[in-house]
Structures are given as structure tokens and as C-alpha cells.
A and B are shown apart, each in its own frame.
Chain A
Amino acid sequence: MSIFIDENTKVVYQGLTGSQGRYYGMLNRDYGTQVVAGTNPKKAGADVEGVPVFATVADAVEATGANASCVFIPAAGVRGAVLEAAEGGVELIVVITEGVPMHDEAYFYNKLKADYPGVRLLGPNCPGLISPGKANIGITAGHIAKAGGPVGIVSRSGTLTYQALYELKQKDIGCTTCVGIGGDPVPGTSFIDCLAAFEDDPETEAVMMIGEIGGSAEEEAAEFIAANVTKPVVAYIAGLCAPPGKKMGHAGAIVSGGKGTAQAKVDALAAAGVHIGQSPSEAGEIMAEVVAAL
């Protein structure tokens, strides 16, 4: 099984008519994802390579039965796009866009929690998620992932996620679902959400977790793992040598006031029984051993 998405997920792309939306929307369709609609208030009635474009998400949902949305709208429009998607009736909103202001993220995260508690938000500033062989929503290269199981992946970093998928594939290890939660300060879906879903998924037998400096999400995940996760977890944390006070690319990746260091995260996860890789490839090797011992 997979978590959050499967072969029946029908996706509407907000921003399908833009260059990024079109490029990745079509790649996702080529992968086999049910790309059923796009939205653009000015181009309702048009189509993008056969995919119908609607004025709003609500129209797209009504006409096509879309139950997920993927957002490629520029940062200034993301707040409106997320609220429109939730109002429109989808169950999953995946925001690829980077550079969304923190106050917008904090607003729509809490707005969804209060008014649309059944809606899952992933991102912003994330690569999306892929259930190999079933559906790929976002910017992950589908062919670097092997379908099946037994590993589930959850990651704050884009490129390191791809690398993890690729290394597992080269070791002939499949992936149930790979979720990129993104590197922003207010991620819609957390490590804990994914760990809980993987714990409940019978086909996922081990979890690969990729974290980075900043915030305390990895420490919170460690507590959750100690209390609730019975499946083996392998982790890699990027940023051991990051200097304090400097943002390392991602808006959320900053060590400030001595908090959010990679070492503190590694220590917390190790104390929770998580296997730690010192490099991405070492994490892959450890996972291969874990899978062999299952």
C-alpha cells in the first residue's frame, strides 16, 4: 500500500498553464498519475495537451472528481490558491512553490486546521510525493524510484530525497511512498504525520527519514518514534557543520540561539533507537542491512 496517494488519486494542477506547472504536470501524467484538470481563472475552457482547464478548483472538482491539488502558483498567490483548493473540496493539497512568506504559511496552516480539518496540506517548498508505480505528484523524477516496498521515505530536503530513492533502487529496494515535506518554517505535513501513516501501512516495513538543521521537528519525531513506531527507522541529518545564524538555502534551515543543531537532532534520534547514517550513502547502506534482516 501507499500513504496519502495511490493509483486512484485524481489531481488538479493550479498553475497548469504556467511553464513550471505545464512541464511537471505533463511529466506527472507521463508517469501515470491521473492528471485530470488544471485551473486558471482567465483560461477556463482551454486545455493543456488534452487536460481541461477550469476557472476554479471547485469547478474542476465538480467536473472531474479531482480529490487532490498540486500548486505551481507563484509565491504571492499561494495563500489564495491553498484556500481555494480547500474550499473547492480536495482532500490533499501539495504546494511545490518556494519563497512563500512565513506569515502566509502560518495563516493557511491554521485556517485549514480550523475550517477544513480533513484536508492534508503538503509543503510549501517541497518536491511533492510519489508512490512508485502508482502516482507521482510534484517534481520528483519518477524513474529513479523502484515500486513496491518495503521502505517508506520522509524528507525535508529535495535532492537528498531523490538520492535516497535512487540509492535504494540501485540496491533493488522498493519504496511504498516517498514524501518530501519541504524545508519551510511551517510545513503542512510533519515528520510525525508521515511516521504515523507509515506505521499504519502494512506494506511499509521500514522508514528512511532525512532531516536537516533548524527548528525542532526531528526532535519531536524522535519522541514520537520512541513512543509509537515499532518499525525500524534509519535517519540522515544534513548540516552538522552549518555555522549558527546563517540560513543554509532553505528558509527553515538555520541554527539560531544554539537551537536546531544537527548534532542535537542526531542525538535525539539515536536515543530513540533510530539508526543514524553519517552520510546519505551510509544511510542507504544501513537501510539495505535493515531490509535484509526483515
Chain B
Amino acid sequence: MDLFEYQGKQFFGSYGMPVSPGEAVTTVDGAAAAAERLGTPVMVKAQVHTGGRGKAGGVKFAADIDAVRVHAANILGLDIRGHIVENLWIEKASDIAEEYYASFTLDRSAKKHLGMLSAQGGVEIETVAEENPDAIAKIWVNPVEGLTEGQCRQWVLAANLNPDVTDQTVELLLKLYEAYTEGDADLVEINPLIVTPEGRVHVLDAKVTLDGNAGFRHDLAPFDATQPRDEREAAAHAKGLQYVGLEGSVGVIANGAGLAMSTVDVVNQVGGRPANFLDIGGGANADVMAEALGVINNDPDVQSIFINIFGGITRGEEVANGIIEAVNRVDIASPIVIRLDGTNAVIGWSLLEPYLSERLVILPTMLEAAREAVVLAGGTAS
């Protein structure tokens, strides 16, 4: 789960890394009050789960309280790449002498942790990687051995930073690695990592993605609460469903992530547009099917629903009974197309037989079912 900048800074701060004092606010008055307490000048920064804030006008310097009010009013409600700004971070302004870049993430090919450090911070690292790859010093850390101080120092020297800040940078990067591993982060990124005119190394921005699977050893609830989810995703998440909202009109329910992805693909291939990805997992019992249908039913864009189930250990008759019970429980607004295959599929079909109508259709293959769902959604299937 992605953290807001201010949450990332608090996360880094808890591992002893140098971050600026600041306050998270949601109103203009709140911003002014925070700036009063912090003392001007301050930065007024939009908190959104996307990049490009600066270019979009979401990051402003405010010399005094009047400027804080003006900028806060402009930034709150701003649309940055589809994200509406609801939260601001008011932070004591820093003077900048140099801007670096530092990050850790998993290198999935090497199956080791990859650290990247560059003297060219403040711009997107992808741009540096393309235009001047030698400007990025990389280090691969074996998770069993961890990052030693000696390795870290070699890495810092290889990045050709200002030699006056080598010791401070080594110390900070060791803490960053600790935050990454102990904190169960998928990604920790500081861009820019700055050196102040007084020669202090300091975290000026924070991008942190935490591993949602590590909730059994960390309290992730505060971060979970600020995840960007549309209404549909929030409702599905509350019911524990694996759901991703898309833009189309064919609601998709499938068992298994791969099959759900495949279903979305096939609907697209035949000329339709899926409204969502929804994986109900292996079981496909009545409860989870009813929850899934409920979520899709509440999506006003959905014109038809495609249920795509492959029975493995779960037998066709169990799946069919689940669908029948769920359809009886939820008042479904859109016609349903079912493709049920695998174990005892034929028994499942015969159970569904009495319920079939123009609004509840079974077709034997994924392709045929996808075409029918697209037509029922008012489209033309190819």
C-alpha cells in the first residue's frame, strides 16, 4: 500500500532519519494554523498517490501566512492526474545546496534487494537511468547478509556525492535499509535527498510502499484508511474481495486471479469493455458470490455481468447452488451470463437450468459467454 509523503516521512522519522517538522491538514484554516506553529516560510504540499505534483501546481513555497492561505486554497480540490487533493502537508521550508536520490526495492530477477543512489536527484530516476545511467550507483544486498557499513560506504563513494557528507549519507542509508526491511516496505525512495547549505543531509521527499501482507506484525490500519479507492473498490475491499475498478460496462466475476485477468482480456478481445476485475478465490460459495454480485450490482455503469468459474476441487454443483442462492438474495439489475466449466460442470448446468431466462444465460465456452455479455451490455461483439 502506498503511503502519502507525510506518512512516509513519519515512517522514516521513526527509524531515526532526519525529516523536516510539519503537519498534515485538510483545510485552509488548518494550513494557516500549522504554519503559525511551525513558523514561516513553509512549503504547502499536496498529498496524493501520484507523481508530478510540482508540475501540476501542487507544491508551493509560502513566505508568510497570507501566502499559505492562498496556496492552500488553490491546492485543495486540485485534480492531479485524476487524484483530487484532500490532504496537505505543511512543512518548514529547507534551503537546498544539493539534491540526491536514494532508494531500495526488490530486484525480482536477482531475487536480492537493489539499492540505487545518485548525485542527480530531484528529477525522475527513470530519466536519469535513460540519459545518464552511469550517474546511478547500484548495490545488490543479499537479504540474509543485510547491508554492512563497509558495503554501504563503498556504495556511497561510488555515487560521487559531495565527500563532506559521506559519513552522514552512510548513516542515513543504513537507516533507510533498516526501515525497508524491518518496516516490510516494497519500496522506499527519497527524491530528493538534500544537502543543506550548512552541510546537513536531509530527507525532503518520501515515497514508501508497504507490504500489505505484513499486517500481522505492523499496524497498517492508518495507511489502509488513506488508500486511493473509488467507491466500488472501497465497498469490495470492506468485504475482503480482490477487486479493481475499470471503466467499462461488463461486470466480471471469476475464481482465481489468473482466470479473472483472462476474463477481462477476453471481454476486451471480443470488443467489450470490462467494468472491473474481481477474483472471488477458489471456493465460489453462495456467501462470497452474493457479496461479489452485490458489489457489481451497485456499479451504475454495469450493463451485464459475466460470471466465469472453473471448478477444480470446488464442484460444479456447489458453484451452481452458490449462484442460485446469491441471485435469490441480491436483486440483480443486469442480465447475467455464466460460463461454468471443470469438475461436474454438467451437473451444475442442470441445476441452473430451471432458472435460465433472457436475464440468466449459460454458455459453454469463455469466448461465447464473453460475446453474449458484450451484446447484453449493448455493445457489438466481434
Which residues of A244-285 are within 8 A (CB) of B?
A: 246-253, 257, 262, 278-281
Q: In the complex, which of the residues B113, B213, B259, B343 contacts A157, with contact meaning CB atoms closer than 8 Å?
A: B259
Knowing A106-B106, A141-B312, A162-B312 are in contact, say whether A241-B274 is a contact too (CB < 8 A).
yes
B341 at the interface (CB under 8 A from A): yes
B211 touches A183 (CB 8 A): no
A130 CB to nearest B CB, Å: 11
Please report which residues of chain A, range 180-194, place their CB below 8 angstroms from some CB of chain B when the two chains form the complex.
183, 185-186
B258 close to A160 (CB less than 8 A): yes
Q: Which of A38-90 contact B (CB under 8 A)?
A: 75-76
Given the interface pairs A144-B343, A279-B266, the reply to whether A239 lies near B144 with Cβ below 8 Å is no
| Most chain B CB inside 10 Å of its own CB: which residue of A76, A155, A159, A253 | A159
A143 interfacial by beta-carbon distance below 8 Å: yes
Q: How many A-B residue pairs have CB under 8 A?
A: 160
In Å, the complex CA distance between A107 and B142 comes to 8
Q: Cβ of A141 and Cβ of B343 under 8 Å apart?
A: yes
A281 CB contacts on chain B under 8 angstroms? 365-367
Q: Taking A75-B213, A99-B213, A101-B214 as contacts, is the C-beta distance between A241 and B265 under 8 angstroms?
A: yes
| Residues from 344 to 382 in B contacting A, C-beta threshold 8 Å | 365-367
Chain B residues within an 8 Å CB radius of A109: 111
Interface of B is mostly: mixed
A159 and B256 contacting across the interface, CB-CB below 8 Å? yes
Q: Are A106 and B112 within 8 A (Cβ)?
A: yes
B118-158 contacts to A, CB under 8 A, are 126, 142-144
Which residues of A lie under 8 Å from residue B217 when comparing CB positions? Answer: 76, 101
Instruction: Determine the chain A residues whose CB is within 8 A of the CB of B37 once the complex forms.
Output: none
CB-based contact B312/A102 at 8 Å: no
Q: Once the chains are docked, how many angstroms separate the CA of A281 from the CA of B368?
A: 12
Query: Given A27-B313, A144-B342, A242-B264, is A249 in contact with B279 using a C-beta cutoff of 8 Å?
Result: yes
Of A217, A250, A252, A262, the most chain B CB neighbours within 10 A belong to: A250
Listed in ascending order, the chain B residues whose CB lies under 8 Å from chain A are 106, 108-109, 111-113, 126, 142-144, 181, 184, 186, 211, 213-214, 216-217, 242, 244, 246, 254-262, 264-266, 268-269, 274, 277, 279, 282, 310-313, 341-343, 365-367
A-B interface, 7 closest residue pairs, ranked by CB to CB distance from nearest: A157-B258, A159-B256, A249-B257, A141-B312, A160-B258, A159-B259, A238-B261
